[in-house]
């Protein structure tokens, strides 16, 4: 896998986590119900998060034309790792030690996959 491919996967990861972060912020500003679905979708943070997800999906389509799924998808699991840090630093979530162990296993596993 070329360095460009890693760059595209990591760009995809950053965009996905950014989109999720915006969803979380936006959803904290409206109450969720099916009656509110259009209000939710057009809430600015949620709407921008959706646009970011579209961009991430286009990048992912391109990645899948260049990289084996069995390599790209495990590396993309680093989204979980980045999301944990976002939860901790932006949303002030407490991450218990058992979750850190799981996060460490994801990092190790993605590292093994990246090595081929």
Q: What pLDDT is stored for residue 14 in this prediction? A: 98
Q: What pLDDT is stored for residue 20 in this prediction? A: 97
Angle at the Cα of 51 (from 45 to 53), degrees rounded to 5?
A: 100
HSE, side-chain direction, 13 A CA sphere, residue 44: 0
Inform me whether the pLDDT recorded for 34 exceeds 90. no
Regarding predicted confidence, which is higher, 79 or 113? 79
d(CA 36, CA 22) in angstroms, rounded, equals 18
Mean pLDDT of 51-56: 98
Model confidence at 114, in pLDDT bands (50, 70, 90)? confident
Regarding predicted confidence, which is higher, 52 or 115? 52
User: pTM of the predicted model, to two decimals?
Assistant: 0.90
Mean pLDDT of 67-96: 96
């Amino acid at each position: 896998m070329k360095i460009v491919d890693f760059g595209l996967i990591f760009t995809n990861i950053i965009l996905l986590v950014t989109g999720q972060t915006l969803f979380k912020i936006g959803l904290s500003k409206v109450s969720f119900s099916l009656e509110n679905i259009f209000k939710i979708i057009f809430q600015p943070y949620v709407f921008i998060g959706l646009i970011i997800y579209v961009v991430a999906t286009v990048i992912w389509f391109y990645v899948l034309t260049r990289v084996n799924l069995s390599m790209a998808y495990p590396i993309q699991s680093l989204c979980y790792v980045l999301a944990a840090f976002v939860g901790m630093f932006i949303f002030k979530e407490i991450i218990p030690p058992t979750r850190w162990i799981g996060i460490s296993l994801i990092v190790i596993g993605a590292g093994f996959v990246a090595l081929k």
